[in-house]
Amino acid sequence: MKAWLLDNPQPVDTRPLKVAEVPVPAPRDDEVLLRVDACGICRTDLHVVEGELPVQRSPLVPGHQIVGHVTATGARVESFKIGDRVGVAWLNRTCGKCEYCLTGRENLCERALFTGWSVDGGYAEYVSAPASFTYHIPEEFEDVQAAPLLCAGIIGYRCLRLTRLSETGWQGARLGLYGFGAAGHITIQLARSRGAEVYVCTRDRERHQALAHELGATWVGGVIEEPPVKLDAAIIFAPAGELVPAALRVLRKGGTVVLGGIHMSPIPSFDYSLIYGERIIRSVANNTRADGREFLEEAARLPVQTHVQTFPFDHANDALIALKNDAIRGAGVIVI
Ligand SMILES: [Zn+2]
Ligand SMILES: [Zn+2]
């Protein structure tokens, strides 16, 4: 099969992914083999390719928002059959035994494996994945539309949960979103359908700000502009540490700032008064399978409309370069 391989992390403008002929993976007893139809690109792929995340495997096939059809199943797989349309996400496998796994926090598992980082991912014609970490894709979504749900969507869903706005009520809640790429444009749809007003701070007037307006943001501004009201919660998707004090500055007492990325530039020091008043800063690390299933149900109910820009399989490096340059409207997806 054809696959994109990363040997060593390099700046993405040097086009570090190389296409190669490699053997089709053989699924283990508890795995399914997928013919990949589409694979979303994610900022985490950029962090992997450029080395902001440590190397876990070399060479590596990146990609962790995979939609495909099952073409083979391992001997112990009962939940899927050949021909099923399925999705594979970032959390690839957990140990099931550590204190986190045993207390409903498998996203924090000490020995977790991750698709497209510690195991091969979906920038390829085929991929194998554990059946118990594979999702059925709701029929409401085309392949290409479904791909960004698998990371951008699930992580956005978990970020919304960690804002704790369900405790104080979604109706009329004021939520800030910092950064408006793949995750932002899905998260706003969930938040608005729950009754929240959404305030979006993002670079790129032409694509990201325009899309935020289109998707019903109450207010849209640049990253250094302050929203005109105090926020009940904020989610920072952009990997820029200076946004943390900026978000705290407009956060009401008792509010939460959720950091949605796996990597962020250093957070500048700030005055205690910005966090006093029981304000909370917390990160989101990965997701549980329950997050994934609950999110896909809610997304299908609305249904969420993903705005995607597709790239042919041969253009994987170009897709990542476009992502780095904020040149994608909504979510980027590689079509295989
Ligand atoms: Zn574990
Ligand atoms: Zn991702």
The SS3 of residue 172 is coil
Cα–ligand 2 centroid distance for 165 (angstroms):
24
Q: What is the band of 183 on the pLDDT scale with cuts at 50, 70, 90?
A: very high
- Strand, helix or coil at 329? coil
pLDDT classification of 332: cutoffs 50, 70, 90: very high
d(CA 296, CA 307): 16
pLDDT at position 30 over 90: yes
Separation of alpha carbons 120 and 127, rounded Å: 7
Residue 16 has pLDDT above 90, yes or no: yes
pLDDT of residue 195: 98
List pLDDT tens digits, range 220-273: 999 889 999 999 999 999 999 999 999 999 999 999 999 999 999 999 999 999
Instruction: Compute the distance from residue 291 Cα to the ligand 1 centre, in Å.
Output: 17
CA distance 95 to 237: 28
Residue 206 predicted with pLDDT over 90:
no
Q: What is the pTM of this model?
A: 0.96
The mean pLDDT of the chain is 97
Which residues lie near ion ligand 2 (Cβ < 5 Å)?
42, 44, 151
Question: pLDDT tens digit string along 42-52?
Answer: 999 999 999 99
pLDDT of residue 300: 98
Ligand sitting nearest the alpha carbon of 100: 1
Amino acid, res. 121: G
Give me the pLDDT at residue 240, please: 96
In this prediction, residues 7-19 reach a mean pLDDT of 98
* pLDDT tens digit sequence for 112-170: 999 999 999 999 999 999 999 999 999 999 999 999 999 999 999 999 999 999 999 99
Type of residue numbered 319: A
Q: Name the residue among 110, 115, 95 with its Cα closest to residue 48.
A: 115
Whole-angstrom distance, CA of residue 172 vs CA of residue 30 = 45
For ligand 1, the distance from its centroid to the CA atom of residue 37, given in whole angstroms, is 30
Report the chain's C-alpha Rg in angstroms.
Answer: 19
Token pair in block for residue 173 = 């809640």
| 288 pLDDT above the threshold of 90 | yes
Q: What six digits make up the tokens of 214?
A: 């289109």
CA of 158 to the centre of ligand 2 (A): 13
User: What are the tens digits of pLDDT across the range 53-75?
Assistant: 999 999 999 999 999 999 999 99
The ligand whose atoms approach the alpha carbon of 104 most closely is: 1
* Per-residue pLDDT band at 205 (split at 50, 70, 90): confident
- Is residue 327 helix, strand or coil? coil
In the chain, % of residues over pLDDT 90 = 98
Ligand nearest to the Cα of 112, by number: 1
> Which ligand does the CA of 151 lie closest to?
2
Going from the Cα of 228 to the center of ligand 2, the distance in angstroms, rounded, reads 31
d(Cα 326, Cα 322) in Å, to the nearest integer? 6
Distance 299 CA to ligand 2 centre (A): 17
How far does residue 154's CA lie from ligand 2's centre (Å)?
Answer: 9
The residue-averaged pLDDT of 201-206 equals 87
Query: Which H helix or E strand runs over 183?
Result: helix 182-193
Residue the block writes with tokens 């990371």: 151
Distance between CA atoms of residues 95 and 164, nearest Å: 28
Ligand nearest to the CA of 43: 2
Reference 91, options 147, 154, 137, 30; nearest CA is: 154
> Which H or E element spans position 32?
strand 31-40
Residues 102 and 99: their CA atoms lie apart, in Å, by 5
| Average pLDDT, integer, range 77-98 | 97
Give one word for 280, left, alpha or beta, with left for phi > 0 and alpha for psi -120 to 50.
beta
How far, in Å, is the centroid of ligand 2 from the Cα of 276? 32
- Residue 312, pLDDT > 90, answer yes
pLDDT at residue 266, rounded to an integer = 97
The tokens of 249 are what? 């500055």
- pLDDT for position 290: 97
Mean pLDDT lowest among 23-27, 201-205, 225-229, 332-336 = 201-205
